[in-house]
Structure 1
């Protein structure tokens, strides 16, 4: 069974929006025979962008899983979104993948979101190869794109191909590992011709092969040994070394092509099989149970363990997409849901092909499948054998930064709207829904304006509801600039029965590090000596302080970037309890925050704007009016690329404004850049957060 696992590749396609990853996915499905007609993004006929909104907007919104077979290997492929608003969808996919192909535009090189997904892959330890796409476009240059990988990503690119022809004349590549030419001359899968390296490129090809050998020899001891003999590195050793370096994350194999014209797809599939890991190549999955770390090998015979990474509501029922890390599960088996603690039965097991499904009898270690029958599973839930529990690390969920109020147009639809929103949150954990206690409005929060637009439109289409949407609001934070020392608080309560007594002394100061990063960095420590406050009460004080961070003194926004030190305290022999000290911690920190100097923080984003040269002046003026700070400007092929940091609150409606200023020729992308202090004149206009009670 482990031999069979070596013929599986769990692969993600990652890229900046419009780099061509969905087109590449379609060409992979066509080249492998999984489809018999090429799907096109502009025609709305792609397999993976099957949702009506994806076809209407021409972008990938939801990660879609498909499968195909190449050279005797089954490839489970997930096409991921490229827009920053859906980066959590990418993170959930990366959590369950073994490898990735990162697609780059040969003209633009590394773009903001391609850098973001690269960093996500770094955090998850996912080996990857790079595909430089669109080499047939005007201004395309492989060497420039590769240089941007080295400079912006800190990667060690190992370029294994040399383009044949430039821009519109691009017709093929030289394979530098096997020293052969591959030319795409016709239409359809397998239409390329293999031949000798063209005479005009022979010297350049051998020079680049030598550079590749040198780069590999610097990183791989076996290749170095062969290289030092003076005869160079053999093809077999070079290929083996490239695989080792890819799996270890020490180098990145770089291929190139033009997916829209079917150029370069087959060699990319060969590279996926040759260099990216199978489930048998990855380390045993690690989980926890009762605080102890446990490992479970990728073995079909081991106790069952799987992670749910996506939940979908379909016309035929609720699908839970999962990655099986260990063991085997069959139709009808009972599994333990570690999120709810309940045992549930697997109704059906499905191989997923975007919006189509094929039923199978079982799923084993290394498989990515969907199951029917799980009522309580959520994204991030661990499923395991009832007699051998384990909790796998779930994907992280980013805090939402934009909110809108939503309400049904008809009062009779209130309950239907609540049900629809609850289902949305089940499918997308980066969305949250709450009720504003002051206004009674339902507030939907997400990762950006587009994210919320898509969510609301899904409610309208899938549930047939007409809803009204308020103006977007961003998520502000508060932080301490100058704290207080020795704040004393006594909590004493007598109400006839057992009393409550807690005495605490706190120091409050800004936390070290970059609290502007947006992380909820709260540091708590105890400096109490002599056992004046027992350890269980210290933990209660910390819990109370965390409670107090939910509302800051300026406007009721969450507080971040704070260090609290418990320096002293006192207890009562009868009336002290964990409840009393938790209450004291909460009220003491609230009082300390009111006595501190606190400032307001707002979310900011890095905006990359691409505009014609003649529109630069107007765009710069508009960015300045939006409190933007321009950090860079480059020019290429008659267009200017401007980079600026802009408060998120100032970007609502920017897309239509930019189109108007540039006659529809300007585009922009964003990525989160953390939090920054709100200027004094602006902070007075920031609405206060609703009380959380």
Structure 2
């Protein structure tokens, strides 16, 4: 079954709706959530009759069941009665969260209620990401823009809760601009070594991931064939271990190394630890290809446990990352504006003053359609500026366009601003800071 919609009912709880493609589903049946790699149990099987939900207890293939009891299911999940099952193609969204706010209850007693509300919101809206800042304890909500976050705040306050929110914060991504490595990493006990090389993920491969044409859950031989078609070497194409958000890949290109498969999960854990918070500003890493070129592992499993392999992998990856011309990526918005002819100059001036550029200008009768791009960081006061410059006669809208490198002239200022906000030292670490003596 492919889950396409999640609704949180005040009485029934989470209701997962989707198409049942094969087999049957019934009350009390245990199912596997393939993408999240967990197991759940269906409490009730229902079907929607207009706005009403009718309990049926049992449905066969071809129907659209509404399942109750699967608390952590999300839209895009694949449900199956067997654990080893190839999932359906993932749901692809046009945009991704680029703006964050911190939210907290006005009264501490409401904190458990806020946590539950945020959990329900993130289930109903996959583009709304909730998380906890482990350094400060703040609850963070990330969305597609300030309007998206305002709607989320409204939904929270409609429950009767009073909340306090911070100013919007732009989300950045860390990336590299060239290849570096192989870099040697040593485990804390000095008994294990790993050699890692990093490079930017090719645009063609990024497109394949976005389009769902390659996935770690799909056929490995078919994925290798697809990657070879875009120029990957055969040993790289067949060595893919994992494809992780946001668009990172780790490959095993070792030759004849011992115990690699035994430490695979620990290496992956260290790699995911690293891409979650990069070394420059503790922002997520994007578009990185990590290659394990060689390993030297102790024969005794006691000396190559998680406490040894995970930090070793992360440190080696960070050294290579910092030697590969690291930078920050900022979200860029596409702005589409329609104004009378005489206000064309005012609109183009607003866009260019906000580090933007004009993509196209199209005359349509007495109106002009202007399409441009601008960084999300410059768009927070756009409504007021655009209204004042055009006397309120402009119709405009924003949508996520792409990630773009922060200009070199602004990079240091942006990095220092992020690190200061997170309570870190203003100076980013050097590669030598992660090297073993």
- What's the counterpart of residue 566 of structure 1? 292
The separation in 1 between residues aligned to 2:383 and 2:364, in whole angstroms, is 22
Unaligned runs of 5+ in 1: 1-305, 494-499
Out of 364, 386, 401, the position equivalent to 2:98 is: 401
Superposition deviation, residue 481 in structure 1: 2.0
- What's the counterpart of residue 140 of structure 2? 443
2:203 is equivalent to residue 505 of structure 1: no
Deviates more, 1:374-383 or 1:673-682: 374-383
Structure 1 vs Structure 2 CA RMSD? 3.2
The separation in 2 between residues aligned to 1:528 and 1:388, in whole angstroms, is 29
Verify the 8 A CA contact 1:604 1:647 in the aligned structure 2. yes
Verify the 8 A CA contact 1:434 1:444 in the aligned structure 2. yes
Superposition deviation, residue 649 in structure 1: 1.5
Which secondary structure does the structure 2 equivalent of 1:325 belong to?
A: coil
The separation in 1 between residues aligned to 2:9 and 2:329, in whole angstroms, is 40
The separation in 2 between residues aligned to 1:450 and 1:388, in whole angstroms, is 40
Verify the 8 A CA contact 2:46 2:53 in the aligned structure 1. no
Superposition deviation, residue 418 in structure 1: 1.6
Which secondary structure does the structure 2 equivalent of 1:581 belong to?
A: helix
Trace 1:249-288 onto structure 2 (pairs within 5 A): none
TM-score (norm 1): 0.49
Distance 1:610 1:584, change over 3 A: same
Superposition deviation, residue 507 in structure 1: 2.8
2:7 is equivalent to residue 312 of structure 1: yes
Unaligned runs of 5+ in 2: 211-244, 425-437
The separation in 1 between residues aligned to 2:402 and 2:294, in whole angstroms, is 35
The separation in 2 between residues aligned to 1:357 and 1:525, in whole angstroms, is 49
After superposition, the C-alpha distances for 1:325-351 in whole angstroms (9 at most, x for unaligned) are 234556xx3333322423333164332
Trace 1:317-356 onto structure 2 (pairs within 5 A): 317-318=12-13, 319-327=15-23, 333-339=27-33, 340-346=38-44, 348-351=46-49, 353=50, 356=51
- What's the counterpart of residue 556 of structure 1? 282
The separation in 1 between residues aligned to 2:9 and 2:267, in whole angstroms, is 46
Which secondary structure does the structure 2 equivalent of 1:599 belong to?
A: strand
Distance 1:344 1:648, change over 3 A: same
Distance 1:691 1:527, change over 3 A: farther
Out of 418, 423, 428, the position equivalent to 2:120 is: 423
Trace 1:181-196 onto structure 2 (pairs within 5 A): none
Superposition deviation, residue 620 in structure 1: 0.8
Distance 1:514 1:675, change over 3 A: farther
Which secondary structure does the structure 1 equivalent of 2:257 belong to?
A: coil
The separation in 2 between residues aligned to 1:458 and 1:512, in whole angstroms, is 40
2:54 is equivalent to residue 359 of structure 1: yes
Which secondary structure does the structure 2 equivalent of 1:670 belong to?
A: strand
The separation in 2 between residues aligned to 1:375 and 1:450, in whole angstroms, is 28
2:251 is equivalent to residue 525 of structure 1: yes
After superposition, the C-alpha distances for 1:297-349 in whole angstroms (9 at most, x for unaligned) are xxxxxxxxx3332222335533332323234556xx33333224233331643
Which secondary structure does the structure 2 equivalent of 1:320 belong to?
A: strand
The separation in 2 between residues aligned to 1:565 and 1:383, in whole angstroms, is 32
The separation in 1 between residues aligned to 2:266 and 2:317, in whole angstroms, is 13
Which secondary structure does the structure 2 equivalent of 1:418 belong to?
A: helix
Which secondary structure does the structure 2 equivalent of 1:451 belong to?
A: helix
Which secondary structure does the structure 2 equivalent of 1:334 belong to?
A: coil
The separation in 2 between residues aligned to 1:482 and 1:655, in whole angstroms, is 38
Verify the 8 A CA contact 2:43 2:67 in the aligned structure 1. no
Verify the 8 A CA contact 1:349 1:372 in the aligned structure 2. no
After superposition, the C-alpha distances for 1:39-73 in whole angstroms (9 at most, x for unaligned) are xxxxxxxxxxxxxxxxxxxxxxxxxxxxxxxxxxx
Verify the 8 A CA contact 1:336 1:383 in the aligned structure 2. no
Superposition deviation, residue 434 in structure 1: 1.6
Distance 1:583 1:636, change over 3 A: same
Distance 1:328 1:482, change over 3 A: closer
After superposition, the C-alpha distances for 1:379-429 in whole angstroms (9 at most, x for unaligned) are 334445x58985642534664221111122233322221221111112222
The separation in 2 between residues aligned to 1:601 and 1:375, in whole angstroms, is 35
Verify the 8 A CA contact 2:341 2:367 in the aligned structure 1. yes
Superposition deviation, residue 509 in structure 1: 3.0
- What's the counterpart of residue 433 of structure 1? 130
TM-score (norm 2): 0.75
Distance 1:418 1:676, change over 3 A: same
Verify the 8 A CA contact 2:361 2:371 in the aligned structure 1. yes
- What's the counterpart of residue 391 of structure 2? 663
Which secondary structure does the structure 2 equivalent of 1:326 belong to?
A: coil
Superposition deviation, residue 515 in structure 1: 9.0
Superposition deviation, residue 484 in structure 1: 3.0
2:168 is equivalent to residue 472 of structure 1: yes
Verify the 8 A CA contact 1:487 1:505 in the aligned structure 2. yes
Verify the 8 A CA contact 1:532 1:568 in the aligned structure 2. no
Distance 1:594 1:611, change over 3 A: same
After superposition, the C-alpha distances for 1:555-606 in whole angstroms (9 at most, x for unaligned) are 1112223333333332333364253333321111122223442111101122
Verify the 8 A CA contact 2:44 2:55 in the aligned structure 1. no
After superposition, the C-alpha distances for 1:52-105 in whole angstroms (9 at most, x for unaligned) are xxxxxxxxxxxxxxxxxxxxxxxxxxxxxxxxxxxxxxxxxxxxxxxxxxxxxx
The separation in 2 between residues aligned to 1:389 and 1:566, in whole angstroms, is 27
Which secondary structure does the structure 2 equivalent of 1:549 belong to?
A: helix
